[in-house]
Amino acid sequence: MHQPINELHRFHFHPDVSGFDPDLMYVECKHCGRPVLWNKGRTSEILEGVDIVRAELDSSCMILTHGCPRCTPGVTKFRLQVIRADDVYAEEQQMQLIAHA
Protein backbone atom coordinates (compact mmCIF):
# COMPACT_ATOMS: atom_id res chain seq x y z
CA MET A 1 0.00 0.00 0.00
CA HIS A 2 1.16 3.46 -0.75
CA GLN A 3 0.96 6.29 1.74
CA PRO A 4 0.74 9.94 0.86
CA ILE A 5 4.13 11.56 1.27
CA ASN A 6 2.90 13.90 4.00
CA GLU A 7 1.94 10.89 6.14
CA LEU A 8 5.29 9.10 5.96
CA HIS A 9 7.25 8.87 9.16
CA ARG A 10 10.43 10.83 8.65
CA PHE A 11 13.62 10.32 10.56
CA HIS A 12 15.46 13.50 11.29
CA PHE A 13 19.21 13.28 11.44
CA HIS A 14 20.77 15.86 13.72
CA PRO A 15 24.55 15.85 13.37
CA ASP A 16 26.72 16.77 16.31
CA VAL A 17 27.27 20.48 15.79
CA SER A 18 28.89 21.11 19.14
CA GLY A 19 32.13 22.33 17.60
CA PHE A 20 34.13 23.08 14.51
CA ASP A 21 35.76 20.17 12.69
CA PRO A 22 39.47 21.09 12.59
CA ASP A 23 40.00 18.90 9.54
CA LEU A 24 38.09 21.57 7.59
CA MET A 25 40.75 24.19 8.32
CA TYR A 26 42.57 25.70 5.37
CA VAL A 27 46.34 25.06 5.29
CA GLU A 28 48.68 27.39 3.42
CA CYS A 29 52.44 27.74 3.02
CA LYS A 30 53.55 30.99 4.63
CA HIS A 31 56.55 31.25 2.30
CA CYS A 32 55.03 30.68 -1.14
CA GLY A 33 51.29 31.11 -0.42
CA ARG A 34 50.26 27.80 -1.97
CA PRO A 35 47.58 25.66 -0.35
CA VAL A 36 48.92 22.56 1.38
CA LEU A 37 46.99 19.30 1.13
CA TRP A 38 47.50 16.38 3.45
CA ASN A 39 45.74 13.17 4.43
CA LYS A 40 42.30 13.20 5.99
CA GLY A 41 42.53 13.43 9.78
CA ARG A 42 46.07 14.88 9.77
CA THR A 43 44.97 18.22 11.20
CA SER A 44 43.20 16.54 14.13
CA GLU A 45 46.26 14.37 14.68
CA ILE A 46 48.54 17.42 14.79
CA LEU A 47 46.24 19.40 17.09
CA GLU A 48 46.08 16.54 19.60
CA GLY A 49 49.78 17.05 20.32
CA VAL A 50 49.62 20.79 21.03
CA ASP A 51 47.96 23.03 23.58
CA ILE A 52 45.11 24.38 21.48
CA VAL A 53 41.58 24.36 22.83
CA ARG A 54 39.55 22.82 20.02
CA ALA A 55 36.41 24.59 21.21
CA GLU A 56 38.06 27.92 20.33
CA LEU A 57 38.60 26.93 16.69
CA ASP A 58 36.15 28.17 14.08
CA SER A 59 35.93 28.80 10.36
CA SER A 60 38.17 31.87 10.60
CA CYS A 61 41.11 29.72 11.76
CA MET A 62 43.77 28.42 9.41
CA ILE A 63 47.14 26.71 9.56
CA LEU A 64 50.29 28.26 8.14
CA THR A 65 53.26 26.03 7.37
CA HIS A 66 56.72 27.54 7.32
CA GLY A 67 57.67 25.93 4.03
CA CYS A 68 56.15 23.17 1.93
CA PRO A 69 57.39 20.36 -0.32
CA ARG A 70 56.93 22.63 -3.33
CA CYS A 71 59.05 25.57 -2.19
CA THR A 72 61.51 23.60 -0.03
CA PRO A 73 61.97 20.21 -1.73
CA GLY A 74 63.51 17.44 0.33
CA VAL A 75 62.29 18.83 3.66
CA THR A 76 59.63 16.71 5.35
CA LYS A 77 58.99 18.54 8.63
CA PHE A 78 57.79 22.11 8.87
CA ARG A 79 56.91 24.44 11.71
CA LEU A 80 53.16 25.03 11.85
CA GLN A 81 51.19 28.00 13.12
CA VAL A 82 47.46 28.20 13.79
CA ILE A 83 46.12 31.69 13.16
CA ARG A 84 42.79 33.42 13.02
CA ALA A 85 42.52 34.99 9.56
CA ASP A 86 40.97 38.38 10.18
CA ASP A 87 40.89 41.57 8.13
CA VAL A 88 44.46 42.47 9.16
CA TYR A 89 45.77 39.17 7.79
CA ALA A 90 43.85 39.68 4.55
CA GLU A 91 45.34 43.17 4.14
CA GLU A 92 48.87 41.85 4.79
CA GLN A 93 48.37 39.13 2.17
CA GLN A 94 47.12 41.71 -0.34
CA MET A 95 50.21 43.86 0.25
CA GLN A 96 52.48 40.80 -0.19
CA LEU A 97 50.78 39.97 -3.48
CA ILE A 98 51.28 43.54 -4.70
CA ALA A 99 54.92 43.53 -3.52
CA HIS A 100 55.71 40.27 -5.36
CA ALA A 101 53.87 41.21 -8.57
Greater confidence (62 vs 3) lies with: 62
35 DSSP β-pair partners: 28
Comparing 4-13, 59-68, 78-87, the range with the smallest average pLDDT is 4-13
What confidence tens digit (pLDDT) does each residue in 29-52 have? 999 999 999 898 998 888 888 888
Confidence at 86, pLDDT banded by 50, 70, 90: confident
Distance CA 67, CA 69 (A): 7
Max intra-chain CA distance, the chain: 70
Classified as helix, coil or strand, 62 is strand
Contact (Cβ atoms closer than 8 angstroms) between residue 36 and residue 1: no
Tell me the whole-structure pTM to 2 decimals.
0.65
